[in-house]
Structure 1
């Protein structure tokens, strides 16, 4: 694309983004009506988003443990890992006492009345009754898929509590019967955890919105300008919530998808709107019309926002490679939210800005009227970087490398029972079972084998190191004849389900058992999922890095700059994970942050957080490099472009980072550990990236490489599309 870079702004739209801006400004009414229709149509479904989405999906599709669960559903009355387990316990009564008999009968009646329960297995001596007789486990077989079983666990919590209180769900009595009843097992765990996580997310959002508004007012200096990004982000979130509900009708979507989408869309939506509104206000100061200001904004900052959005979407799309439904659909949720927020930013925002014109500065604070797009402070900082690039680059690089070193000792595992609050019913039931029956009982392994191998399976399992107890082989209740078909053997480990030694037990069983035998159960599903996440992590990282580099290469048309942008983003990501290891694995600051360290990072963290952190890092990379390239295109002076790029983007990056840090750190207040991990890790990543990388390391590298940073061989220039970030 050839333009006269010295021509004054005109109403011509030289590029697609400029033409889009002009079209949106010219059709304010149509754009607003279209967005109202979208928000109303999708918003009608949005209120049910947290009840419509799936609560399970934490599995490695096609794994041995998932096969066991499927066989349990087909042949053993649904007594697989997704079965409901109800702990009945009394300090004063035993299973033979009338009170316990009545409680067990009440639990059985509640379970049997639910169509999602295939059948009820009464407590059995030696397996599901404690040696002292004070604790029993009633099992409700799964007649529905794992997601519905998580919902069932939540739905049955109150009726089961009513039994414990000595009542039926329809009646109430002033006295209980002295028996505790706690749903437990994998389905109950995810039910309680999803509920606690949802409550924590909502509380964190309530904290983050006013904090964000305050930062926005300070950054924009205008109440109207500060309110626009929040309204746009809200429209994008409502639309994406409704879209997730509709998508959930076609395929199960994890409820975590919306949790992540709420946080990420708020941060990115404000980020994008900040970049456009600041540029629009600067264009207005030149005395042009609102329409021309929109055209110039979209032709410059609009391209950077589009490139940033594409980079985020590409990074998250790599997560879709992981064969775990919950992980994939979390990525889908964020991608949908980003798509809607990006669409609102590039269509609705230009239309509103074109309509508002100078009124975008309404409600301005006194200092805002003197505020210019070019920040004198960041201009001076750019000059400092220009004079002392080596010590600043070495210092920033040294800090990032030092913080990245702990990554090499990072341990990961699927969440333990400690991720749910201490007063959660599932945790209370879990701890009672461990105290009364043994540490490994909540993590009982299930082995499915051919009937002719039953004796060998039982014998080998009983002799396996780390196995405390083995049940007799249970014949299939359907799909087989006597002496034929599959059998189910249950093996109780002698360690807690979250103990790393359990992986060795599972590996020994899989290595030693007959060929027909496959090993599953809830802890085996966690181990298989963790291994799948570990196996796919290098692939996901490679895809993200390569696609990120290619996007920058296409947009900036300079291989060295694209490589530098990718590498420094990787550095900030490594440093964030190093800090995560120190906090969440080693427990530094655990008391201050109010959590009990598990000794590892939650297993989905590396794959998912890598994609999210890298996406955010590239977001800032795009804003800085697009601004520098814009000035380089105008002047051809790499040194001046580095300084002016800092002067024109530094304040925006700093303000955007402040908003993101405020949003992410608000999740540090959450009681459940995973949202706390998410908020702190992402907040630290943004802080490190904005301060050390975008404002120090990357500008210093641009200074050191000079014109070479923007060099490109002629054959590559012929291959790449003409993309300019300047407006003429």
Structure 2
């Protein structure tokens, strides 16, 4: 793979004009298609294998049109304090508002609250349901403006009017502010890291190119594949984060190769062949982990995972082709000022215009020469190689106190992971919104007037086809469920055309996200034999509340198996790459610690409310059901990024003859600064999404930022060198029989040794006798 990527890097550098035309054509095609497509949709909310989905399917079968996906809005009216909405003046104001609502665009009808008995017992509150003939995503701005105008009319007449429901949602797609914040912070980090505006700007430019391609592709495929707006935001988030990081790694290696005296084209090929190999491996782990979410069996999660995996794949492709292409246009612009001046002088010498400065047939030295015959870039690189940086100083600190650093790190991460034991999964609704929104105020008004369970009624579907008397069977089941502890009321049953299937609602006494509601649903289902006894009918519990409970249970049961699969995958991949038994074990355990600690922090903030206001969390509640398992997949890939880029340089130093402890220091000398910069960039990008409106994106942004912070700076920068210091030479031990069995994967560029020594043909390919067996 390294040889192939080496050729690809040289080709993109040499044929930069053609590569630019290809990418412009691709971007133009997806942009035109995406901008003219219908965009994202509400997604496929089906959840195979759960009772609530089975009941929903039965409703669609027996009640055609009852489960239609038309948008709706609840307009809530609250009378002034001490008055009732049934008073003459207030009733007239409600009826006038209802009449105005019925005249709005796309409206099918409005249920009058006085005719439909949608008035609270104390008469203080009433609500009207507005039904639209289009789906949620197709409600136009004109329809929402008409809704607001009608509500303002009711407010002008003295009523408190608030609105909730799917038709009032304006969408939670990316606002653009979070992306700008992340890119701005990333630009500062890159500028400090590289000391060059061009070197700092190139990773940003390539990341934006990749993210734009992914964005337009998701828009293009959004409607036909049922991709949601959260998928769009997630693709942008990952595309920017990994796109910047992958370009950063390739450009950093290019600068190293140029500082060693290589010609620009050769340096580009070496950078793509070495750092690019690690990028391919790291990107592949992210793609596999995200695509693996399909095994959970939740279509929404599968689509989000595949879309995010596609965004990562695009970022890898951009790093391998667009980065060397841009380097071809500006070969010296990304270099540090001192190296750039030396490189310009070197480029004017005849011997350095097309080939490497190394003589053909001669092996490169482990360190660049610094004598009087060394070239300018080599002298600069030699000075840097012999100079300690923060990475080497930190590595030596850890090597002097490995036990202290290891114990402190593990105990700290373990303490942060403790809240995971109280993890409560669910699907927060309008109650999680800010009180400044009309949706949240409508939710609170309905809970105040009709009880906390009104916002999440249970839908009971009774299949009485086998019952001798269907209506009697349905009434018996309805009465028994109504007598259950925790149910405050049941609605009259509604029968289908054949009168053998019925639907009715059961209103709990507790809110949809209350743990008691979850217990109530479980109790009703557990008592199914007693409730159905003597009726020859069967009932199923569904509705939004029951669906959320079932999804949470399904995800929670899949979380541990999926984590085990991901950890097992990490072990196998690292075993093949680093040809070591202990290194993969250490990496897998570190990944488990970092992801559990990150989820623990999410629980602390979003569920328990610690420092919630600091992160803009208006209301605590259950953690989004899909968030933890999705975060596991993403964090796995990001953790492998840092593991590969850090450990590969240590492995390279060890293979070149350094002992295990010195190899750790060498690895930190070359990689620590880049890994720290990459981590800070990812933290900045992910943190920017905490300001998004969508609860799912807000939680994922916070969780990923916390996970990267803990994994990069605690696990990879502290635990990894501490463990390597304690186990010494055993870190790179591999049984001979296993070495013969495992395939050889070159991500360190060992196959490029012939290129480094100048032993290559005129096409840049290695000579037939120049192949080198991968290191053990």
TM range (shorter): 0.7 to 0.9
* Alpha-carbon distance between aligned partners in 1 of 2:36 and 2:599, rounded to the nearest angstrom: 35
Which of residues 20, 44, 53 is equivalent to 2:8? 20
Paired residue secondary structure (2:42):
coil
Superposed displacement of residue 121, structure 1: 4.8
Which of residues 716, 724, 747 is equivalent to 1:702? 724
Which of residues 476, 482, 490 is equivalent to 1:470? 490
* Alpha-carbon distance between aligned partners in 2 of 1:72 and 1:163, rounded to the nearest angstrom: 33
* Alpha-carbon distance between aligned partners in 2 of 1:388 and 1:45, rounded to the nearest angstrom: 58
Query: Is 1:315–1:548's contact at 8 Å kept on the other side of the alignment?
Result: no
Cα deviation code 1:88-139 (max 9, x no counterpart): 414264387333223223334448x44xx5x665446685222244543334
Query: Is 1:157–1:183's contact at 8 Å kept on the other side of the alignment?
Result: no
Which of residues 610, 617, 620 is equivalent to 1:595? 617
Q: Give 1:9's aligned residue.
A: none
Superposed displacement of residue 647, structure 1: 1.0
Residues 14-53 of structure 1 correspond to what in structure 2 (within 5 A)?
Answer: 15-47=3-35, 52-53=39-40
Paired residue secondary structure (1:449):
strand
Q: Give 1:10's aligned residue.
A: none
Question: Could you say which structure has the larger radius of gyration?
Answer: 2
Q: Give 1:101's aligned residue.
A: 95
5+ residue gaps, structure 2, are 343-376, 465-469, 754-776
Which of residues 200, 203, 207 is equivalent to 2:181? 207
* Alpha-carbon distance between aligned partners in 2 of 1:53 and 1:592, rounded to the nearest angstrom: 31
Paired residue secondary structure (1:288):
coil
Which of residues 571, 591, 598 is equivalent to 1:569? 591
* Alpha-carbon distance between aligned partners in 2 of 1:599 and 1:639, rounded to the nearest angstrom: 47
* 2:580 is equivalent to residue 558 of structure 1: yes
Change (3 A) 1:446 1:153: farther
Q: Give 1:136's aligned residue.
A: 126
Deviates more, 1:597-606 or 1:232-241: 597-606
Query: Is 1:420–1:672's contact at 8 Å kept on the other side of the alignment?
Result: no
Which of residues 327, 343, 346 is equivalent to 2:317? 343
Q: Give 2:774's aligned residue.
A: none
Q: Give 1:184's aligned residue.
A: 164
Query: Is 1:88–1:136's contact at 8 Å kept on the other side of the alignment?
Result: yes
Change (3 A) 1:561 1:86: same
* Alpha-carbon distance between aligned partners in 2 of 1:80 and 1:64, rounded to the nearest angstrom: 19
Paired residue secondary structure (1:360):
coil
* Alpha-carbon distance between aligned partners in 1 of 2:543 and 2:519, rounded to the nearest angstrom: 15
Cα deviation code 1:533-563 (max 9, x no counterpart): 1121122212211222222222222232222
* 2:428 is equivalent to residue 436 of structure 1: no
Change (3 A) 1:716 1:153: farther
Query: Is 2:78–2:445's contact at 8 Å kept on the other side of the alignment?
Result: no
Residues 491-502 of structure 1 correspond to what in structure 2 (within 5 A)?
Answer: 491-502=506-517
Superposed displacement of residue 304, structure 1: 1.0
Superposed displacement of residue 418, structure 1: 3.2
Q: Give 2:41's aligned residue.
A: 54
Query: Is 2:77–2:125's contact at 8 Å kept on the other side of the alignment?
Result: yes
Residues 481-500 of structure 1 correspond to what in structure 2 (within 5 A)?
Answer: 481=498, 484-500=499-515
The root-mean-square deviation of aligned C-alpha atoms, in Å, is 3.0
* 2:394 is equivalent to residue 406 of structure 1: no
* 2:475 is equivalent to residue 455 of structure 1: yes
* Alpha-carbon distance between aligned partners in 2 of 1:304 and 1:557, rounded to the nearest angstrom: 15
Change (3 A) 1:592 1:624: same
Query: Is 1:99–1:177's contact at 8 Å kept on the other side of the alignment?
Result: yes
Change (3 A) 1:426 1:367: farther
Deviates more, 1:231-240 or 1:324-333: 324-333
Superposed displacement of residue 178, structure 1: 4.3
Residues 80-119 of structure 1 correspond to what in structure 2 (within 5 A)?
Answer: 84-91=72-79, 93-94=85-86, 97-110=91-104, 113-114=106-107
Change (3 A) 1:496 1:364: farther
Superposed displacement of residue 207, structure 1: 1.7
Superposed displacement of residue 401, structure 1: 2.2
Change (3 A) 1:594 1:86: closer
Superposed displacement of residue 216, structure 1: 1.0
Superposed displacement of residue 408, structure 1: 2.1
Deviates more, 1:335-344 or 1:573-582: 573-582
Query: Is 1:263–1:664's contact at 8 Å kept on the other side of the alignment?
Result: yes
* 2:713 is equivalent to residue 691 of structure 1: yes
Q: Give 1:6's aligned residue.
A: none
Change (3 A) 1:14 1:464: closer
Change (3 A) 1:655 1:14: closer
Query: Is 1:60–1:529's contact at 8 Å kept on the other side of the alignment?
Result: yes
Q: Give 1:505's aligned residue.
A: 520
Paired residue secondary structure (1:52):
coil
Superposed displacement of residue 219, structure 1: 0.9
* Alpha-carbon distance between aligned partners in 2 of 1:44 and 1:126, rounded to the nearest angstrom: 48
Superposed displacement of residue 650, structure 1: 0.7
Deviates more, 1:612-621 or 1:594-603: 594-603
Change (3 A) 1:54 1:30: same
Q: Give 2:210's aligned residue.
A: 236
* Alpha-carbon distance between aligned partners in 1 of 2:259 and 2:339, rounded to the nearest angstrom: 17
* Alpha-carbon distance between aligned partners in 1 of 2:638 and 2:214, rounded to the nearest angstrom: 20
Query: Is 2:39–2:220's contact at 8 Å kept on the other side of the alignment?
Result: no
Q: Give 2:649's aligned residue.
A: 627
* Alpha-carbon distance between aligned partners in 1 of 2:18 and 2:649, rounded to the nearest angstrom: 32
* TM-score normalised by L of structure 1: 0.87
Superposed displacement of residue 674, structure 1: 4.1
* Alpha-carbon distance between aligned partners in 2 of 1:81 and 1:488, rounded to the nearest angstrom: 18
* Alpha-carbon distance between aligned partners in 1 of 2:474 and 2:268, rounded to the nearest angstrom: 74
* 2:635 is equivalent to residue 617 of structure 1: no
Superposed displacement of residue 35, structure 1: 0.9
Superposed displacement of residue 14, structure 1: 6.9
Deviates more, 1:126-135 or 1:510-519: 126-135
Which of residues 44, 66, 70 is equivalent to 1:78? 66
5+ residue gaps, structure 1, are 1-12, 168-174
* 2:201 is equivalent to residue 217 of structure 1: no
Query: Is 2:333–2:340's contact at 8 Å kept on the other side of the alignment?
Result: no
* Alpha-carbon distance between aligned partners in 1 of 2:447 and 2:130, rounded to the nearest angstrom: 20
Query: Is 1:628–1:644's contact at 8 Å kept on the other side of the alignment?
Result: yes
* TM-score normalised by L of structure 2: 0.82
Query: Is 1:576–1:685's contact at 8 Å kept on the other side of the alignment?
Result: yes
* Alpha-carbon distance between aligned partners in 2 of 1:355 and 1:101, rounded to the nearest angstrom: 69
* Alpha-carbon distance between aligned partners in 1 of 2:100 and 2:163, rounded to the nearest angstrom: 13
Q: Give 1:548's aligned residue.
A: 570
Q: Give 1:170's aligned residue.
A: none
Query: Is 2:35–2:219's contact at 8 Å kept on the other side of the alignment?
Result: no
Change (3 A) 1:551 1:312: same
Paired residue secondary structure (1:519):
strand
Superposed displacement of residue 303, structure 1: 1.1
